[in-house]
């Protein structure tokens, strides 16, 4: 299966590893379900987090339930989260590096969550998805072509 989506570059910020790992899975789930891009803006915190997507409408209750099911299914499969390093030239052929900073250097760090997701990232992650807990969407809203998804972990 082709792994799709943009990169997520995290720098100069301390992220909550469980929340941030959930964000990776949520992004890949959104890409697969709606063929949208990964979140272009997000705020990750221990208690609750939010991700913003370029979108054309709000989500239905049914879709929210389906996202929760898919994300929790990945978590429950206890996938390994691994970092791999690629030379930039090779990474460019395998991943979307369009948002990579110019000063990213020749070695690109790719975070892989089992065979579900892969994207460049410099943040901190759990080593097994089971550590994330249970993913729950608190609410969504839609405005000016931006879908905001708020979520927490139980």
**Choices 55-63, 102-110, 120-128, 133-141 (CB under 5 A): range interacting with Zn ion:** 120-128
Alpha carbons 43 and 41: distance in angstroms, whole number: 7
Tell me if residue 115 falls in helix, strand or coil.
coil
C-alpha 137, offset from chain centre: 14
Q: What is the DSSP letter of 95?
A: S
Of the residues 121, 132, 147, 149, which one makes contact with Zn ion according to CB under 5 A: 121
Question: What is the closest distance, in whole angstroms, from the C-beta atom of residue 65 to Zn ion in the complex?
Answer: 25
Q: For Zn ion, give the closer residue by CB, 26 or 147.
A: 26
Judge whether 152 and 139 are in contact, CB under 8 Å.
no
Site pattern 64..103 for Zn ion (x: CB under 5 A): ----------------------------------------
**Choices 43-51, 65-73, 77-85, 119-127 (CB under 5 A): range interacting with Zn ion:** 119-127
Q: For Zn ion, give the closer residue by CB, 17 or 36.
A: 17
- Contact between 123 and Zn ion per CB under 5 A: yes
Q: For Zn ion, give the closer residue by CB, 37 or 123.
A: 123
Question: What is the closest distance, in whole angstroms, from the C-beta atom of residue 95 to Zn ion in the complex?
Answer: 13
Backbone phi, then psi, for 45, in 5-degree steps? Answer: -140, 165
Judge whether 123 and 24 are in contact, CB under 8 Å.
no
Judge whether 148 and 142 are in contact, CB under 8 Å.
yes
């Amino acid at each position: 299966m082709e792994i799709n989506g943009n990169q997520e570059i995290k720098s100069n910020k301390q992220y909550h590893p469980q929340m941030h790992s959930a964000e990776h899975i949520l992004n890949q789930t959104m890409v697969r379900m709606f063929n949208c891009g990964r979140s272009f803006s997000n705020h990750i915190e221990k208690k609750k987090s939010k991700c913003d997507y370029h979108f054309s409408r709000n989500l239905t209750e049914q879709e929210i339930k389906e996202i929760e099911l898919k994300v929790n299914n990945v978590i429950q499969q206890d996938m390994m989260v691994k970092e791999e390093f690629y030379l930039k030239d090779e990474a460019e052929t395998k991943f979307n590096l369009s948002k990579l900073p110019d000063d990213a250097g020749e070695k690109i760090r790719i975070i892989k969550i089992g065979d579900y997701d892969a994207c460049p990232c410099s943040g901190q992650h759990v080593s097994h998805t089971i550590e994330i807990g249970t993913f729950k969407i608190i609410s969504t809203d839609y405005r000016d072509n931006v879908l905001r998804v708020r979520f927490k972990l139980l």
